[in-house]
C-alpha cells in the first residue's frame, strides 16, 4: 500500500529533543512514502530521507559525529557507516538516501570494527581530561566512544597532535578550545547554513585543518555575530558557553519564549536549581526552529543584575530621596494618590501605559484596570511610537491589524521587498531565514536610505537597492504602484474577485496619474526611475512577492499612508492569501503584537473592538461589572500635552521607558515633571522612574507565567523558571492596585486571565493554556472557525469582506532641511543592543556597542573637517546632543544615522514632535540637523548627568537606610 | 485662551485633513476627517478643538475648519441624544 506523507501528523510524531541526524527533506512534501528495511524492521519515510534519519525514526541509533539534524549531511566522520544489501562497501548513512525495498544493516562485526578504528583515530588526538572537561556528561564524542566500545588507542599520544593549541577566549559568552576540535565542520556549516554569516571556515588541509574565525582572527575581531549556532552545533567542548564552564552542566530545562524582539524565539531555559545556566534555542519552536541571536541566547544576565529593584519605593516629590516601603504601603500610597487626584481634577485626569514587554495577560490587566477602575480610556502602549500605523493602515485596507504570514512563509517567496527594516540587526533569527531563502535564489529589493547588511548577503538572486531620501516612502510606493498599473502588471483576477471595485477604480485612476510615475518622483525620492521600474517588475512578475517592513515605514508623518500603500501594492499584484507572499510588519518588541491585540490602545477594547461599539462594549461591561466610557482616551503624546497644560495629573507606567524612548526628550521630561503622581513598575530604575513617586519592582520574563504574541500572530507560552526577585509577577501588582482602588480582581493564575480574554475577544475564543500545551503555540485568529489557529491570513476573504484600496497622496513632511539644518538624521537599532538598552546594557553585549555613535558619510565629514572618532554636536529644531563620529559609506551623503540604546546619548533630545497624521506615531526617522565638531557634552547632557546622579543617589540612600 | 495644547490640536487636524483630502471631493474629505476625529480622539481633545472654532486667528485649513464644524454639530447631536 502506498501511504501519503502528512506533514502535520509527522510533526506531531517527531520528538524535538532527539537529534535525527539529517534534516527533514523539505523537497519531499507531498511525495509518496518509501518503504525500506533497517536491521529487519520495516519503515516508511518520505522520499529524500537519509538512511541515518530513517533509522533514528525507527529508534535505531547509528553512531554519528559530523551529522546533526539542523545541518545538511556532510559525510566526513564515517562513523555512521552502514551496509546495504546488494551494494558494495560501507556507505555513510547520513549521505545515503533511502530507496524502495532497500535492506540496511547498521550493526555487525565489520561495521563495529570500522567505527572503533575511526574513533581510535579521533581520540588519539584528543585530550583525555573528560573528568574536568566542561562538557563531561554532555559530550557527543564521549557518548560515541562509549557507543562503539573503544577500549584502547594503539597509536599512543606522543605523535604529532593539536593538544597544545591555544584557546580563543575573546568572546565574552563562549570559548573556543581548538585542542578539543575534531574538525567535523559542524560549526562552519552552522554559521553558513543556519546563521548565514559565513564567519567561520576550515583553514589548512589534511592534518593541519583547523576551524578559523575569518582570516585566522580572534572570534571578536571576525565577522562573527555571536548567535551561538556554532556552540549549539559543536559535538565536543571545543565551542562552549562560558556559563557552563563556570557552573557545570544544567540539570533541568523549561521551554519558554525570549523577551527580546518580535520574532519570539522559543528557548530551553536550562537550570541548576534556581540558577539559569544557559538559554538554548528550542528546536520545537515554530518561530525559530532551534536558531537564536546574541541577545536571546546569551544576554540574559540582566535578570540577576545587582541593579534589579527588589523593594517598592515611595516619595512625595521627585526632589526627595526614596523611602523603601512594604508592598501594602506602596500600593496603598499609589491608590490614595490616584483617588485624590481624580477627586480634585476629574475622572479623565489620570491614565496608564501598558507594556509591550510584559505578557498578554499583564497587558490585558493594565488596560482593564484603566478602563474599569480608573473609569476612562486613557490607556496606550509603546506600539504608539512604533507600529500604530500598521494597526491603522492594515485594518483600513485588509481589515485586520496584523501581518499576514508565518515567518516560514519566506521560504516560498520568489521576490522579497524589504522596506525600512534591518532584519539582520533587529530581527536576526528571521534575518537568517530570509538569507537562507536568498541563497536559494529569491530576488531581493531593499528600499532604505542606508546600505543595510542584508544587501551584502552572499546569494544567488539579484539584489536591488532603492536608496531613497528619508521621508519620501509614500512617493516611492506610489511610483511602484504606478508602474504596476501602467505596465499592466496587476493581477486582474485577484482584484476582481477579492477587492472592492469602486475603491480599486478610484485608486487605479489616482495612481495612474503621471505625477506618480517613477520619472516624476525621482526628484522627490532621489531613486533613479529605471531602478523603481525594475523593482516593480521584479516584485509583480517573479511569482510569489512578499513585502517585509519595519519602523522605517511607520515612524514617519505619513507612516499610516505608507502602510496602506504597501497593502495596495500587494493587493494589486495578487500577493495576498497564500504562502510566500503577504504584507509583513516586523515588530520591534517581544509583545508589541500582543499589547495591541490586548486592547492597549485608547480607542480599542481587546481584539480591536472600538469602544464606541455598543455590542462589544456591552459584553465587556457585563463581564467586568462596570459601565465603560464610550469615547476614546488620550494617546501617549496627547497625555504629555495635557500634562504640560495641567489637565492630566497621574500616570501608571508598566515596563516602558518613555523618558528615553519617546521623541523630543525635553518635552517628555517637562510632561513627567508636571505630574502629581507617576507610578513606575519596572525591573530597573529606568529614565522614567527617575521622575516617579512610586516605584513598583517588576519581574523579568524568567520570573512569570504568561504568553507573548510574536510578529506572526503566534501566541507562545512564557514559563516561570525562578521566583520573582521582588516577590510578585507583574500581573499580581496590577491586581493589587486594582483591589486597593476598590475594583476587585481575584485571579490566581494567568491562565484565568487568558480564559477571560478568550471569552471577550472573537479572534481568541479557541485559546487556552491547555491548548497551548497541546499545540506548543497558536496563531490567532483561533476560534470555532479556525480551531488550530490561522498561519496564513486572508486566504479566501478579508475580515472586511473585500479588500479596500486606499488613496495614498504623498504629503511631504514639515521637517525640511535648510541652510541651518542641512542634514537629515534617521535613527535605528543595532544587533547587540535592544531598544532603550535597559536589559542589554546590563550584559556583556556592551562589548559590541558601549556607546551610540553618529554615522555620517565621508563627504559630509570632510566639508566639516570631521574625522572618525571626533565629538560631534548634533543640533535640530528640538535640541542638541553630542556623540562620537563614525564615518560610514553605508550612509548616503546628506543623511546621518544614530541609535538610541544609551540614555546619555540623548538621541531623542534631537528628534521632534512631528508625528504620523493618523496615529501620532512619532517621526523618528526624519529630523533636519546640523553637525559640528565640539569639545564638551551638550547642555542637556550635562543636566542629564547631574539629574541622573542625584536620582541614583536617592535610590542608593534608601537602599542603605533600609533595615 | 489658546494654549500650546490648542496649537497642537489645530496642527493635528490640519495634517489629518491634508492626508484625507487628496483624491476626494471636499465634502467626502470633510466627512472622512470628522469621522477620523470621532474614532480616534479623546473627548477633551474634541471639545477643545471645537472651542477653537469660535476664536479669532486660529489657523485652520479650509478643509480642517469644515471638518471641525461638522464635528461640532455631531457632538451637539450626541449630547442631545445622551440627554
Q: How far is B18 from chain A (nearest CA, A)?
A: 7
Contact call for residues A481 and A463 (beta carbons, < 8 A): no
Strand (E) or helix (H) holding A392: helix A388-397
**DSSP conformational letter for A137:** T
Pairwise CB contact (< 8 Å): A632 & B39: yes
**Is residue A674 a contact partner of residue A644, using CB atoms and an 8 Å limit?**
yes
Put simply, whether A613 touches B (Cβ < 8 Å) is: no
Most distant CA pair in chain A, distance: 92
Q: Is the CB of A809 less than 8 angstroms away from the CB of B12?
A: no
User: Which residues in chain A are contacts of B42 at CB distance < 8 A?
Assistant: 348, 377-378, 602, 631-635, 638
Asked whether the beta carbons of residue B12 and residue A510 sit closer than 8 angstroms, the reply is no
What's the CA angle centered on A120, arms A118 and A122, to 5 degrees? 75
Shortest CA distance from A643: residue in chain B: B5
pLDDT at A216: 86
**Statement: residue A10 has pLDDT above 60:** no
Provide the shortest C-alpha distance from residue A653 to chain B (in Å): 19
Question: For position B57, what pLDDT does the model report?
Answer: 84
- How long is chain B? 83
Cβ neighbours around A916 below 10 Å, total? 27
Confidence (pLDDT) at A609? 95
pLDDT for B5 equals 83
Q: Whole-angstrom Cα distance, residue A180 to residue A231?
A: 13
Q: Which residues of B touch A384 (CB under 8 A)?
A: none
- Is pLDDT of A13 > 60? no
Write down the pLDDT at residue A461.
64
Contact, A805 vs A499, CB < 8 A? yes
For residues B44 and A647, is the Cβ–Cβ distance under 8 A?
A: yes
Verify cis geometry, omega within 30 degrees of 0, for the bond prior to A442: no
pLDDT given for residue A516 in this prediction? 97
A905 DSSP 8-state letter: G
Q: Taking residues A521-546, what's their average pLDDT?
A: 97
Provide the terminal-to-terminal Cα distance of chain A, rounded to the nearest Å: 77
Closest CA to A479 of A531, A538, A421: A531
Hey, is the C-beta of A377 within 8 angstroms of any chain B C-beta?
yes
pLDDT, tens digit, for every residue of A665-679?
999 999 999 999 999
Contacts of B83 (CB under 8 A, 6+ apart): none
Interface of B with A (CB under 8 A): 3-5, 8, 12, 15-16, 18-19, 21-24, 36, 38-45
Q: Chain B closest CA to A380's CA: distance in Å?
A: 12
Of all residues in chain A, the one with the smallest CA distance to B82 is A630
Unique residue bearing C-alpha cell 518509501: A34
- Rounded to an integer, the average pLDDT of A316-344 is 96
Query: Among A179-183, A833-837, B31-35, which stretch is predicted with the lowest mean pLDDT?
Result: A833-837
Cβ contact (<8 Å) for A610 and B4?
no
Reduce the DSSP state of residue A277 to 3 states and report it.
strand
**Distance between CA atoms of residues A683 and A695, nearest Å:** 10
Q: What are phi and psi of A50, to 5 degrees?
A: -80, 160
Parallel/antiparallel/unpaired status of strands A239-241 and A174-176:
antiparallel
Judging contacts by C-beta atoms under 8 Å, the chain A residues touching residue B23 are 506, 510, 807, 809
B56 has pLDDT over 70: yes
DSSP A157-221: S-SS-STTPPPB--SSSEEE-GGG-----HHHHIIIIII----EEEESSGGG-EEEETTTB-GGG
Q: What residues in A contact B19, CB-CB < 8 Å?
A: 558, 560-561, 809, 811, 917-918
Average pLDDT over residues B48-69: 92
Q: Does pLDDT of A3 surpass 70?
A: no
Partner-chain contact B45 A811, CB within 8 Å: no
Task: Please spell the DSSP secondary structure of A609-637, one letter per residue.
Answer: EETT-HHHHHHHHHHHTS----S----HH
Does the pLDDT of residue A12 top 70, yes or no? no
- In the structure, what pLDDT confidence band is assigned to residue B29 with cuts at 50, 70 and 90? very high
Give the nearest chain A residue to B22 (CA atoms).
A809
Average pLDDT estimate for A765-791? 95
Shortest Cα–Cα distance, B22 to chain A (Å): 6
User: What is the mean pLDDT of the segment spanning A80-106?
Assistant: 95
User: Quick one: which of A624, A591, A649 has its CA closest to A371?
Assistant: A624
Query: Could you give the maximum distance between any two Cα atoms of chain B, in Å?
Result: 38
B19 contacts A558? CB cut-off 8 A: yes
Tally helices (H) and strands (E) across chain B. Answer: 4, 0
Contact B40 A918 (CB under 8 A): yes
User: What is the structure's pLDDT at A462?
Assistant: 73
Buried b (16+ CB within 10 A) or exposed e, A62-99: bbbbbbbbbbebbbbbbbbbbbbeeeeebbbbbbbbbe
Is the pLDDT assigned to residue A487 strictly greater than 70?
yes
Partner-chain contact B16 A918, CB within 8 Å: yes
Q: What is the pLDDT of residues A255-299, one digit of tens each?
A: 999 999 999 999 999 999 889 999 999 999 999 999 999 999 999
| Contact between chains at B15 and A645 (C-beta distance less than 8 A) | no
Strands (E) across A803-865 are located at 823-828, 853-856
Question: Does position A588 have pLDDT exceeding 90, yes or no?
Answer: no
Mean pLDDT of A205-227: 93
Note whether B42 contacts A612, CB cutoff 8 Å: no
Asked if B23 lies within 8 A of A809 by C-beta distance, the reply is yes
- Above pLDDT 70, what percent of chain A? 98
Average the pLDDT over A787-811 and give the result: 94
Q: What digits encode the pLDDT tens for the residues A933-961?
A: 999 999 999 999 999 999 999 999 998 88
Contact B18 A811 (CB under 8 A): yes
CB–CB contacts below 8 A, A to B: 68
Q: Is the pLDDT of residue B3 over 70?
A: no
Q: What is the torsion angle, in degrees rounded to the nearest 10, for the CA atoms of residue A660, residue A666, residue A671 and residue A672?
A: 50
pTM: 0.94
How far is B1 from chain A, CA to nearest CA, in Å?
12
Q: How far apart are CA A533 and CA A415, in angstroms?
A: 15
Residues A98-137 have pLDDT tens digits of 999 999 999 999 999 999 999 999 999 999 999 999 999 8
Q: Cβ-count burial of B76 within 10 angstroms (0-12 exposed, 13-18 middle, 19+ buried)?
A: exposed
Is the minimum CB–CB distance between A632 and chain B shorter than 8 Å?
A: yes
Considering CB atoms only, which of A510, A631, A807 is closest to B42? A631
In chain A, residues with a C-beta closer than 8 Å to the C-beta of B21 are: 809
Is the predicted pLDDT of residue A83 greater than 90, yes or no?
yes
Tell which wins on pLDDT, A386 or B3.
A386
In this complex, do A631 and B36 lie within 8 Å of one another by their Cβ atoms? no
- In eight-state DSSP terms, residue A422 is -
Percent of chain A whose pLDDT exceeds 90: 91
Q: How confident is the model at residue A460 (pLDDT cuts 50, 70, 90)?
A: low
- Tell me: the pLDDT tens digits for A855-864? 999 999 999 9
pLDDT digits (tens, 9 = 90+) for A355-399: 999 999 999 999 999 999 999 999 999 888 889 999 999 999 999
Give yes or no for residue A34 having a pLDDT over 80: yes
pLDDT band at A963 (very low <50, low <70, confident <90, very high): low
Q: How close is the nearest chain A Cα to the Cα of B26, in Å?
A: 14
**Mean pLDDT of the A804-825 span:** 94
> Is residue A507 pLDDT above 90, yes or no?
yes
CB-based contact B19 A377, cutoff 8 Å? no
Domain ranges of chain B: 4-82
Closest partner residue to A641 (CB to CB) among B5, B21, B40 is B5
* Mean pLDDT for all residues in chain A: 94
Per-residue pLDDT at A306 exceeds 70: yes
**A917 contacts B19? CB cut-off 8 A:** yes
CB contact at 8 A, A555 and A913: no
Report the pLDDT value the prediction gives residue B2, as an integer from 0 to 100.
Answer: 46
pLDDT confidence of A432, banded at 50, 70, 90?
very high
List the grid coordinates of A132: 574536568
B19 vs A647: CB contact, 8 Å cut-off? Answer: no
Predicted confidence band of residue A485 (pLDDT cuts 50, 70, 90)? very high
Where in A698-785 does DSSP place strands (E)?
706-709, 714-718, 777-779
Domains of chain A: 7-107 (3.10.20.740), 154-304 (3.30.70.20), 313-382+591-769 (3.40.50.740), 388-585 (3.40.228.10), 823-948 (2.40.40.20)
Amino acid at each position: 500500500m502506498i501511504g501519503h506523507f502528512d506533514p502535520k501528523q509527522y510533526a506531531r510524531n517527531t520528538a524535538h529533543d532527539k537529534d535525527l541526524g539529517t534534516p527533514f527533506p523539505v523537497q519531499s512534501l507531498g511525495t509518496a512514502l518509501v518503504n525500506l528495511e533497517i536491521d529487519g524492521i520495516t519503515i516508511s519515510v518520505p522520499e529524500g530521507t537519509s538512511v541515518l534519519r530513517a533509522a533514528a525514526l525507527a529508534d535505531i541509533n547509528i553512531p554519528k559525529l559530523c551529522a546533526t539534524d539542523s545541518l545538511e549531511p556532510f559525510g566526513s566522520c564515517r562513523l555512521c557507516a552502514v551496509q546495504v544489501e546488494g551494494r558494495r562497501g560501507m556507505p555513510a548513512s547520513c549521505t545515503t538516501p533511502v530507496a524502495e525495498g532497500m535492506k540496511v544493516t547498521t550493526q555487525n562485526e565489520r561495521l563495529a570494527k570500522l567505527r572503533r578504528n575511526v574513533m581510535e583515530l579521533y581520540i588519539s588526538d584528543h585530550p583525555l581530561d573528560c573528568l574536568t572537561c566542561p562538557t563531561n556528561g554532555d559530550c557527543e564524542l564521549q557518548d560515541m566512544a562509549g557507543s562503539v566500545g573503544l577500549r584502547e588507542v594503539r597509536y599512543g599520544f606522543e605523535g604529532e597532535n593539536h593538544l597544545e593549541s591555544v584557546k580563543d577566549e575573546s568572546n565574552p559568552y563562549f570559548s573556543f578550545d581548538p585542542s578539543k576540535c575534531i574538525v567535523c565542520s559542524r560549526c562552519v556549516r552552522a554559521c553558513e547554513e543556519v546563521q548565514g554569516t559565513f564567519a567561520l571556515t576550515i583553514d589548512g588541509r589534511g592534518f593541519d585543518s583547523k576551524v578559523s574565525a575569518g582570516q585566522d582572527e580572534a572570534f571578536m575581531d571576525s565577522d562573527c555575530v555571536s548567535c551561538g549556532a556554532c556552540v549549539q552545533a559543536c559535538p565536543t567542548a571545543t565551542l562552549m558557553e562560558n556559563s557552563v564552564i563556570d557552573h557545570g552542566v544544567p540539570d533541568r530545562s523549561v521551554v519558554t519564549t525570549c523577551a527580546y524582539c518580535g520574532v519570539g524565539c522559543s528557548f530551553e531555559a536550562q537550570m541548576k536549581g534556581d540558577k539559569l545556566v544557559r538559554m538554548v534555542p528550542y528546536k520545537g519552536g515554530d518561530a525559530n526552529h532551534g536558531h537564536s541571536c546574541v541577545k536571546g541566547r546569551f544576554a540574559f544576565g540582566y535578570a540577576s543584575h545587582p541593579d534589579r529593584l527588589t523593594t517598592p519605593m515611595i516619595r512625595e516629590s521627585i526632589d526627595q530621596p526614596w523611602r523603601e516601603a512594604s508592598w501594602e504601603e506602596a500600593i496603598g500610597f499609589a491608590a490614595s494618590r490616584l483617588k485624590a487626584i481624580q477627586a480634585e481634577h476629574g475622572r479623565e485626569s489620570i491614565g496608564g501605559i501598558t507594556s509591550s514587554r510584559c505578557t498578554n495577560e499583564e497587558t490585558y490587566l493594565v488596560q482593564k484596570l484603566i478602563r474599569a477602575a480608573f473609569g476612562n480610556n486613557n490607556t496606550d502602549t509603546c506600539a504608539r511610537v512604533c507600529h500604530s500605523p500598521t494597526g491603522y493602515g492594515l485594518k483600513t485596507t485588509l481589515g485586520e491589524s496584523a501581518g499576514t504570514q508565518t515567518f516560514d512563509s519566506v521560504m516560498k517567496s520568489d521576490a522579497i521587498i524589504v522596506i525600512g527594516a534591518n532584519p539582520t540587526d533587529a530581527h536576526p533569527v528571521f534575518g537568517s531565514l530570509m538569507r537562507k531563502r536568498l541563497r536559494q535564489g529569491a530576488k531581493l529589493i531593499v528600499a532604505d536610505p542606508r546600505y543595510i547588511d542584508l544587501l551584502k548577503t552572499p546569494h544567488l538572486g539579484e539584489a536591488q537597492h532603492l536608496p531613497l531620501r528619508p521621508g519620501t516612502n509614500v512617493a516611492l510606493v506610489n511610483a511602484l504602484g504606478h508602474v504596476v498599473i501602467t505596465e499592466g502588471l496587476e493581477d486582474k483576477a485577484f482584484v476582481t474577485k477579492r477587492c472592492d471595485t469602486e475603491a480599486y477604480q478610484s485608486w487605479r485612476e489616482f495612481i495612474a496619474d503621471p505625477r506618480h510615475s517613477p520619472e516624476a518622483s525621482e526628484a522627490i525620492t532621489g531613486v533613479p526611475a529605471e531602478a523603481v521600474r525594475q523593482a516593480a517588475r521584479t516584485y509583480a512578475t517573479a511569482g510569489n512577492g512578499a513585502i517585509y517592513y519595519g519602523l522605517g515605514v511607520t515612524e514617519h508623518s505619513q507612516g499610516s499612508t505608507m502602510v496602506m500603500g504597501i497593502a495596495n501594492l500587494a493587493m494589486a499584484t495578487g500577493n495576498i492569501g497564500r504562502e510566500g507572499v503577504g504584507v509583513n510588519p516586523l515588530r520591534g518588541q517581544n509583545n508589541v503584537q500582543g499589547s495591541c491585540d490586548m486592547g492597549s490602545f485608547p480607542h480599542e477594547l481587546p481584539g480591536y473592538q472600538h469602544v464606541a461599539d455598543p455590542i462589544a462594549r456591552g459584553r465587556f461591561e457585563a463581564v467586568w461589572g462596570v459601565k465603560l466610557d464610550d469615547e476614546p482616551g488620550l494617546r501617549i503624546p496627547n497625555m504629555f500635552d495635557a500634562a504640560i497644560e495641567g489637565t492630566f495629573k497621574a500616570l501608571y507606567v508598566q515596563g516602558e521607558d518613555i523618558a528615553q524612548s519617546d521623541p523630543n526628550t525635553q518635552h517628555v521630561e517637562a510632561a513627567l515633571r508636571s505630574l502629581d503622581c507617576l507610578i513606575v513598575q519596572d525591573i530597573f530604575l529606568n529614565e522614567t522612574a527617575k521622575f516617579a513617586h512610586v516605584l513598583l519592582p517588576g519581574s523579568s520574563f524568567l520570573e512569570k507565567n504568561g504568553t507573548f504574541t510574536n510578529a506572526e500572530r503566534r501566541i507562545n507560552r512564557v514559563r516561570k523558571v525562578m521566583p520573582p526577585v521582588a516577590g510578585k509577577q507583574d500581573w499580581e501588582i496590577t491586581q493589587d492596585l486594582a483591589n486597593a482602588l476598590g475594583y476587585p480582581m481575584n485571579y490566581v493564575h494567568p491562565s484565568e486571565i487568558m480564559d477571560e480574554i478568550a471569552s471577550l475577544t472573537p479572534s481568541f475564543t479557541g485559546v487556552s493554556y491547555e491548548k497551548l500545551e497541546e499545540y506548543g503555540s497558536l496563531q490567532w485568529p483561533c476560534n470555532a472557525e479556525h480551531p488550530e489557529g490561522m498561519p496564513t491570513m486572508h486566504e479566501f476573504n478579508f475580515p472586511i469582506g473585500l479588500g479596500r484600496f486606499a488613496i495614498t497622496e504623498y504629503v511631504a513632511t514639515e521637517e525640511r532641511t535648510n541652510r541651518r539644518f542641512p542634514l537629515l538624521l534617521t535613527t535605528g537599532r543595532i544587533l547587540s543592543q535592544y531598544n532603550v538598552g535597559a536589559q542589554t546594557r546590563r550584559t556583556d553585549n556592551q562589548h559590541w556597542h558601549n556607546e551610540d555613535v553618529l554615522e555620517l558619510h565621508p563627504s559630509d565629514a570632510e566639508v566639516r573637517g570631521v574625522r572618525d572618532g571626533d565629538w560631534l554636536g548634533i543640533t535640530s529644531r528640538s535640541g542638541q546632543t553630542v556623540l562620537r563620529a563614525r564615518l560610514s559609506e553605508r550612509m548616503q551623503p546628506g543623511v546621518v544615522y544614530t541609535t538610541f540604546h544609551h540614555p546619555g546619548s540623548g538621541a531623542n533630545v534631537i528628534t521632534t514632535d512631528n508625528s504620523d497624521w493618523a496615529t501620532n506615531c512619532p517621526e523618528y526617522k526624519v529630523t533636519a540637523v546640523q553637525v559640528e565638531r565640539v569639545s564638551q557634552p551638550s547642555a542637556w547632557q550635562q543636566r542629564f548627568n547631574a539629574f541622573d546622579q542625584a536620582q541614583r543617589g536617592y535610590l542608593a540612600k534608601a537602599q542603605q537606610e533600609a533595615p | 485662551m489658546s494654549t500650546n495644547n490648542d496649537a497642537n490640536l489645530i496642527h493635528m487636524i490640519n495634517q489629518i485633513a491634508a492626508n484625507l483630502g487628496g483624491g476626494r471631493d471636499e465634502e467626502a474629505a470633510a466627512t472622512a476627517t470628522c469621522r477620523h476625529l470621532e474614532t480616534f480622539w479623546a473627548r477633551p481633545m474634541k471639545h477643545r478643538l471645537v472651542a477653537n472654532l469660535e476664536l479669532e486667528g486660529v489657523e485652520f485649513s479650509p478643509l480642517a475648519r469644515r471638518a471641525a464644524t461638522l464635528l461640532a454639530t455631531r457632538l451637539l447631536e450626541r449630547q442631545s441624544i445622551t440627554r
